[in-house]
Each structure stands twice: as structure tokens, then as C-alpha cells.
Structure 1
Amino acid sequence: MTSGDDSYEFNDEQLLRYSRQIMLPAFDIAGQSRLATSRVLVIGMGGLGSPVALYLAAAGVGTLHLVDFDEVDLSNLQRQIVHTLAGIGNKKVDSAKETIAQINPDTNVIAQAARLEGERLLEAVTEADVVVDATDNFSSRFAINAACVRSKTPLVSGAAIRMEGQVSVFDVRNGDAPCYQCLYSDISEEQLTCSEAGVMAPLVGIIGSVQAMEVVKLISGMGQALIGKLLILDAMTMEWRTMRLKKDPLCKVCSSDA
């Protein structure tokens, strides 16, 4: 599964910047070119979205569309590493854009300070090669998933709370693959968020970094993405588990009767 174009022409400075990736046989210049011509939508510039945006920009993704309606406050700085003290009071997407510019000015950052819903969400998802869900509530996750299913855009989903995290990739272009709704069809909206239950700072960095890696794999065609799998981390023991996920034939979002 690849996105983007593999014929991008790099200048000498860019070749030096990305040299450690280009030398990987499974990635090579073709993979770097696909990154350079790709567009990734990242929804949520908090604990997960921060490492996702930083690593994707550093890796050479051509366009990052960042979406978040919130502003930076002091309590964010414990884990949301794309923001700094200077950004307190500013929109998170603007703060992130400034930080990314200091890492890789070649990445085009579209900063959208909004809560995307309905057709606006679907339009943003459709324009992207890959969508990253870095939100912290189920209503947003379900809406993003539905838009990705409708547009057949790959979705990289992550979650982290307390000392536990998980990552999965949902890509309905593969007819047998489940969507996010298949996994959480009976979830309650009463679930706690990080602001209510707490979260350890490095945990979101680990999960966000895995999400970024999955995006790079999807775009470049390198490796095997976490499609049909749920990767779960218990950071208290630093143990990883992988669960197999199956498509729900009665899913109200991705089934043939939806």
C-alpha cells in the first residue's frame, strides 16, 4: 500500500538530511519520494499528535494538515512535546507549526484551528493519503473512522491513558479488514480521558512514535502495517501484546449493509 509519487527530485541538502533513511534497502529513494509527495492529516495536537507531527516532519512528509481547536496551557507541557512555554495561550496548531518549521522547513504545514465535523471532516479526510487519529474521546474517533471508511482513506489510530496504550491501523481498501467501529461497537461514552485519569509523559511519546512509524510504512510501502491487529502496551511491565482483529459483519459503519 503506497501513496504519493516516487519521482520527486531532491536537492543535495535534502539528500543529506534524509540520507539515513534513504540507505535502508526497503525504503530507498523511492520511499523518500513518496513521503515528500504525500499529505497526512493529523487530528489532535496533544500528547499523541505531538510526536506524530514531529517525527513525520523530520522524516520528510511533504504536507502535514494539523487540526485542533484547543490552545496551549501549562498542564500540556508535561507530555505535549511539540509545544513550549512560549506557545502558552496560542492555538496548538500554530504552536506546532512554529516548532516544525525549526525542524524541517521543507514540510508544508496546514494549521487548522477548528473542530472538524460532517462534510468538513470528510473533505479533509478525502484529501489525505493517511489520517492519524490523535484525539482523546470516542465521539471524535467514531466520526473520524466513519469518514475514513466512506473515503477509503487509511486510518492510524492510537490511544494512551494512565500507563497503557494501544495502536492499530484500519484500512477498508482491504475488504476483509475491520474498521475502528468493529473494535468498539459497544463502547460507552462515559470512558475517562487523560485529564480525568492521568497519563505518564513518555507513554504518549511511545504510542505516538509507533503511529508515526505506521504512517511511514503505509506511505512508503515498506514492511507490514498493523492492519487487523491491535498492538497493546502495558508500560508498568513494558510488555507488548498483539491481538488479532476481525471485521464485524454487522458493523453499522463498514459492513455491506451499512
Structure 2
Amino acid sequence: MDLSFSEAEIARYSRHILLREVGGTGQAKLRAASALIVGAGGLGSPAALYLAAAGIGRISIIDHDTLELSNLQRQIAHSMASIGQGKAASAAGAMRGINPEIDVTPIAGRIGADNVADLVGGHDIVLDGTDNFATRFLVADACVRARVTLVSAAVLRFEGQISTFKPHAGPDCPCYRCLYPEPPPEGMVPSCSEAGVLGPVTGVMGCLQASEAIKEILGIGVSLAGRLLLWDALDMRFRMIGVPREPGCAVCGGQATP
């Protein structure tokens, strides 16, 4: 691992380097790491900006959608000038504007059965910021098969939740299906476009995703693996719920761990 830094890098990342838990070695780990962000919307926007600012060396961001005026209430990686553009390209532009020293790859398209394995397997960590269950389960299952850590968040109205899934790391670490074995029936859980969402809720949860991803890359702090963090913005209340690994889980139950 290359531990040398230019003067510009030292200035840019000085507040990280000052942290005992990060230092120069940790910043070099961030520079050597790669992340896949699935979705450039309310969750993906803040996560993408903070991962770029943190100096994650290679970031791919995938989204098939184009930017609309209604998105700007919460999707802070975009601006009025980007309306009508693809969200992936718009977010990538914002990321490069913050940190031109990193490698950002926008992918204008859907993540599906034909490409999920290659996308997930080509990165060190995955952040899921999607708004539909089909994609969440697809990405989560692919992460288990590739033994790649997943940081997943979801929001609705005034509430958010986040957890980290890495069953390859040990018997106390569940996968997404240990928490949610199957997607809910179609139409049971409304989307944000149907039920609404407070803009800053997506910002808080997206920032937490970035924070957890950085912690996982550096191997510092206490992981959210095995725990689900819930936040109610109206009550300003955080709750933590334990999530055990299911021995009979159809996806990770038989996966060998270190």
C-alpha cells in the first residue's frame, strides 16, 4: 500500500490524518478502497458526496433515472442545472467537483441479474440507497455470494433505518435476508413518491451510510453488523435493535466464516 501523499493530499485530508483511528495509514486505506453506490437519489446523494470528500479512491455510482424538479427537495448531489440529466452522471459531476483526485464512474442503467455480480464483485463495499425491494434483495444476495460488505439504509416519511450486513465476517453477522426473509407483498409498503419523506431524513441516513462504510474500510469502531438502527425524526429518537443471524437462512446459512 502506497503511504506517500502529495502536499495537496495532506492538506485535503489533514482532519482525517489528525485522527488517531485514521492517520496516514488509514487515509491510504481509503485511497486504495473501492465503493459501489446503488442509487443516486436521496440516500445516495449525501453518501456519494461524503465518500468522495473522504478520498475513497474508486467509486462507482449506478442509477437509471433522470433528474426531476421534485427530486431537489432531498437529492442534494444535484442542482437545477442538472434537471433532465441522468442522475448517475449528475452525481458524478458533483463528486468530482468536491474531489477531482478520485476515480468516479457513473453508470446510467439499472442494476439487474445480468450485471449485479460483476458490479458488486468489483468493489470492496456496497452502499444500497435504492427505493424498491426487488433491487434491495438482488443487491443484498449478490453481496453475500461475493463476500462483500453491504451498508443498507431505507427511509419513509419521518423515519429511517440502517444496518450493515457481512455474514462472511463471522457467525454473529447476519445477511439482509436474516432480517427480511422475503420482500413484502407488492403495494404493502408505500414508496416515498406515494407517502412522502422529509428531505433531511434522507440526508441523515445517507451520511450514516457513508460513516459506516468508512468505518468498515478502516476497521475501526463498532460495526452495525448484527444491529439495526432506527431513527424517528419527529420524536428525535434513535433505537437499536439486535438482528441475529438465522442458521437456516436460505442465503447465508451455509456460508463458511473465518
Fold conserved between structures, TM > 0.5: yes
Q: Verify: 1:155 aligned to 2:150, yes or no.
A: yes
User: Which consecutive aligned stretches of 4+ in structure 1 deviate over 3 angstroms post-superposition?
Assistant: none
Stretch of structure 1 that moved more, 236-245 or 117-126: 117-126
2:106 to 99, 108, 111: 111
Checking the alignment, whether the CA contact within 8 Å between 1:37 and 1:62 is kept in structure 2 is yes
Would the aligned equivalents of 2:120 and 2:126 in 1 still touch at CA under 8 Å? yes
> SS where residue 242 of structure 1 aligns?
strand
Shift of 1:9: 2.0
Residue 241 of structure 1 aligns with an amino acid whose one-letter code is R
State the alpha-carbon separation in 2 of the partners of residues 172 and 185 from structure 1: 15
Gapped runs of 5+ residues in structure 2?
A: none
Q: Which residue of 2 aligns with 1:62?
A: 57
Task: Give the corresponding residue for 1:253.
Answer: 251
Counterpart secondary structure, 1:72: coil
1:245 positional shift: 0.4
**CA deviation profile, 1:8-34 (whole Å, cap 9, x unmatched):** 421001100100011000111111001
Shift of 1:187: 4.0
Structure 1 distance, partners of 2:208, 2:141, is 23
Say whether the 8 Å CA contact 1:8–1:36 is kept in structure 2: no
CA contact (8 A) 2:137 2:183 kept: no
Q: Distance in 2 between matches of 1:180 and 1:113?
A: 26
Shift of 1:252: 1.7
CA distance in 2, matches of 1:9, 1:161: 43
- Residue identity over aligned pairs, in percent, reads 44
Residue of structure 1 aligned with 2:176, choices 162, 173, 180: 180
Determine if contact 1:64/1:108 at 8 Å carries over to the other structure.
Answer: yes
Are the equivalent residues in 2 in contact too, given 1:39–1:130 (CA < 8 A)?
yes
Once the two structures are overlaid, the 10-residue window that deviates more, 172-181 or 158-167, is: 172-181
> 1:91-138 CA distances to partner (integer Å, 9 max, x unpaired)?
001101111121110121100001121241111100110000000111
Choose from 122, 128, 135 the match for 1:140: 135
Please say if residues 111 and 135 of structure 2, whose CA atoms lie closer than 8 Å, have aligned partners that are also in contact.
Answer: no
Aligned to 1:90: 85
* CA distance, structure 2, for counterparts of residue 8 and residue 141 of structure 1: 36
Matching residue within 185, 188, 211 for 2:209: 211
CA distance in 1, matches of 2:96, 2:51: 12
Q: Which moved more, 1:194-203 or 1:7-16?
A: 7-16
TM-score by length of structure 2 reads 0.95
Gaps of at least 5 residues in structure 1 are none
Q: Distance in 2 between matches of 1:17 and 1:58?
A: 9
Q: Which residue of 1 aligns with 2:221?
A: 223
* TM-align CA RMSD: 1.1
Matched residues in 2 for 1:125 and 1:111: separation? 15
User: Partner letter of residue 207 of structure 2?
Assistant: S
User: Is the alpha carbon distance of 1:123 and 1:225 closer, same or farther for their aligned partners in structure 2, counting shifts above 3 Å?
Assistant: same
Say how many residue pairs are matched.
252
What is the alpha-carbon distance in structure 2 between the residues aligned to residue 130 and residue 187 of structure 1? Answer: 23
Secondary structure of the residue that 1:192 maps to in structure 2? coil
Aligned amino acid, residue 133 of structure 2: F
